[in-house]
């Protein structure tokens, strides 16, 4: 699985090692961190592009992110696609949660799902929320889900 920085630079080490190095570096700099993980997708013809981001927020000092992109030609309903986004975010959150706990870094999983029933993505809200919460993660949906709605969204456009 290839991860990169926003600059486009490819990360050369496994993501878990990169995250640990990042936490250690930021802690030495005196920064208190929070990590937000989110995924967004966009359908372009017969192809769906996914982008998953790990956003590091430095308390009162901005943030940065690592990005993983993938593409599939699998046909999905809107609900399947929303739940696939959530699955991708949970997979990464699960890989990182022990490490984040060890360093006492808060973690949120963001879903690009609208809480307003007028939007199609709302069909997946209850399943996504139940899934994320049952895994023990903090859940955020739109409009608070900036990791998926803004950060990951920029990577699939």
> Which has the minimum average pLDDT: 1-5, 18-22, 101-105, 111-115?
111-115
Residue with tokens 């808060």: 106
In the structure, what pLDDT confidence band is assigned to residue 23 with cuts at 50, 70 and 90? very high
Residue with tokens 């993501």: 15
pTM score of the predicted model: 0.94
Q: What is the torsional sign of CA 153, 115, 144, 130?
A: negative
The count of C-alpha atoms lying within 13 angstroms of the C-alpha of 9, restricted to the half-sphere facing its C-beta, is 7
Domain annotation for the chain: domains and CATH numbers: 4-156 (3.30.420)
* pLDDT of 32 above 80: yes
């Amino acid at each position: 699985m290839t991860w990169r920085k926003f600059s486009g630079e490819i990360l050369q080490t496994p993501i878990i090692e990169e995250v640990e190095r990042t936490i250690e570096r930021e802690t030495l700099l005196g920064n208190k961190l929070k990590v937000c993980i989110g995924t967004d997708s966009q359908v372009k013809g017969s192809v769906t592009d996914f982008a998953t981001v790990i956003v590091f927020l430095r308390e009162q000092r901005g943030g940065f992110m690592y990005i993983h992109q993938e593409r599939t030609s699998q046909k999905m309903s809107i609900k399947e696609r929303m739940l696939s986004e959530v699955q991708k975010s949970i997979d990464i959150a699960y890989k990182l949660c022990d490490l984040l706990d060890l360093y006492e870094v808060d973690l949120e999983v963001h879903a690009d799902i609208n809480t307003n029933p007028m939007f199609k993505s709302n069909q997946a809200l209850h399943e996504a929320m139940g899934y994320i919460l049952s895994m023990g993660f903090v859940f955020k949906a739109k409009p608070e889900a900036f990791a998926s709605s803004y950060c990951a969204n920029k990577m699939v456009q």
